[in-house]
Every structure is written in C-alpha cells, then in structure tokens.
Structure 1
Amino acid sequence: MQLSEILQSNAVKSIASCTSKKRLFHDIGEMAETCYGLKLSAVIDALIERENLGPTGVGHGVALPHARLAGVDEVKGIFLRLEKPLNFDAVDRQPVDLVFALIAPENAGVDHLKALALVSRTFRSPSICAKLRANSDPVTLFTILTSVGSSQAA
C-alpha cells in the first residue's frame, strides 16, 4: 500500500488557524464530503467517537485521527498542515501541526491497519515532517507525501 492509493491531491490542505479539535474534525469532515462524497456529520461523529477512546496525537507535533464508517468502500486519507499548532492531548503533550486523518470502511480490518501503519511510519521521519512544515502549498505537500509513500511498502 502507498499513500497515493489512499490520498487524493485535493484532500491536502494548509489551514491558517484552527481553534479546537472539534473544529479540526469539522474541517476534516468537510474535506471528506468534498473529496470523497462522505456525509459530513457521520465523519465528524466517527472521529469524535474514536477520539473519546483515547487521543490520536502520536507525538512530535503529529496527530493521526482515524475512524471506521459505514458506507465507505476503501480507506481514504486527508492531510492538514496547521500553521498554528493545536493542543491535541498528544502523548508528549506537544501541540500538533501535522494531521493525517484516515476514514476506513466499517469492516476494513487489515487494510485499515496497513494504512495506519504506513502513515505512522511516514510521520516518524523527522526529515519528512520538516519538509511538510516548511511548505504550505497543497500541491507541494501532496508531492512530498506521495513520493515518500511510494518508497515504503506496507
């Protein structure tokens, strides 16, 4: 699996300001609706429900919110670069500025786990995170993410 298989170019965005997790999940939901035709409220509710089980801020300024959703046919990705870091209750207590959300089919099983592992490995690279933080253009961000994904097999 490669990031280019789960992430569309229009599902990448840089956001100037985001004031809360709830607002961030709303932004993710809007992108999921626009890019993938998913229902806004269903995406928001699923992300909040998953987040209530435990924070998805994995540390080093990265969050990987994810959820399973009925009616989704394959794993979908959304990337947001926050210009102003957001408190996300991350494990290292650092604010988050790189967010990769995954929306998976309700019964995705192994595909959901493979996608989550791929994204996690990608964002463990300090050089990739530095490149993402140094750019705000969505096309450039997409290129960084998808060129990395093609060199790592899940």
Structure 2
Amino acid sequence: MDLSKVLIPGAVRVVGQLTSKKRLFQELGEVAAQAHGINAAMAIDVLQERESLGPTGVGHGIALPHGRLEDLDHIIGVFLRLEKPLDYDSVDRQPVDLVFGLFAPKDSGVDHLKALALVSRTMRDPAITATLRANNDPAKLHAILTENRTPQAA
C-alpha cells in the first residue's frame, strides 16, 4: 500500500485555529466531502463514534482519527496541519497539530488496518513530522506525506 493512493492533493489543508475535537472532526468531514464526495455528516459521525471507544491521539502532537463508511469502495485519507495545537486527550496529554484522518469501506477488513499502520509509521518518523510542521503549503505537505520511501526492516 502507498499513501499516494490514499491521500489526494485536495485532501490536505492547513487550518488556523479549531476550538474543539468536535470542530476538528467537522473540518475533517468537510474536507473529505469536498475532496472525495462523501457525506460529511456520516464522516463526522463515524469519527465521533470511533473516538468514543478511546482517544486516537497517539502522542507527539499526532492524531489518527479513523472510521468505516458504508458507501466507500476504497480507503481515503485527509491530512490537516493545525497552526495552533488543539487539546485532544492524547495518550501523552500533549495537544495535537498533525491530524491524519482515515476513512475505510465498512467491509475493508485487514486493508483498513494496513492503511492505519502505514500512516502510523509515516507519522512516527521525526524527520517527516518536523518537515510537516515547517511547511504551510498544502502541495508541499502532500508531497512530504506521499514521497516514496524504502520500507524499514523491523
């Protein structure tokens, strides 16, 4: 799996200030609707539903909200870089400024987990996150995230 198949340029944004996790999910849903033509309200609902099971803030200023949608036929992503970090109830209690949302088909099974693992590996790389934080241009952010990298051996 390749992030360039999940994340299209139109699904990458830099956002000024959001006041709550709910507002963040609304922004993710709206961007997903604009970029991928999905139903924004349904996207917001699945993100909130998943978040109620446990926080998707993975630490180091990164959140990976995700959910499954009925009407999708492939996995899609949305990336937001927040100019002002948002309190997110992350595992390390740090606010988040890098948010990669994933939406998968209801029956995607292991592909959803593979996509989540790929995004997680990418976002755990300190060089990548530092470069993401240093850029405000959505096109550059997309290029950074989708750049082909040689997989690291475990």
Structure 1, gaps ≥5 residues long: none
- Percent of counterpart pairs with the same letter? 59
Q: Give deviations 1:105-134, integer Å, cap 9, x for gaps.
A: 001111101100000000111110000000
What is the TM-score of this pair, normalised by structure 2? 0.96
Letter in 1 for 2:18: C
Report the equivalent of 2:128. Answer: 128
3-state SS of paired residue (1:53): coil
Any runs of at least 4 consecutive aligned residues in structure 1 with deviations exceeding 2 A, and if so which? none
Residue 153 of structure 1, CA deviation: 5.0
3-state SS of paired residue (2:144): helix
What is the Cα-based RMSD across aligned positions, in Å? 1.1
| Distance in 1 (alpha carbons) for counterparts of 2:46 and 2:110 | 19
3-state SS of paired residue (2:8): strand
Report the equivalent of 1:21. Answer: 21
Q: Give deviations 1:34-93, integer Å, cap 9, x for gaps.
A: 111110110000000000000000000000000001011100000000000001100000
Residue 151 of structure 1, CA deviation: 1.4
What is the TM-score of this pair, normalised by structure 1? 0.96
Q: What does residue range 1-154 of structure 1 map to in structure 2 within 5 Å?
A: 1-147=1-147, 150-152=148-150
Residue 152 of structure 1, CA deviation: 4.7
Letter in 2 for 1:118: L
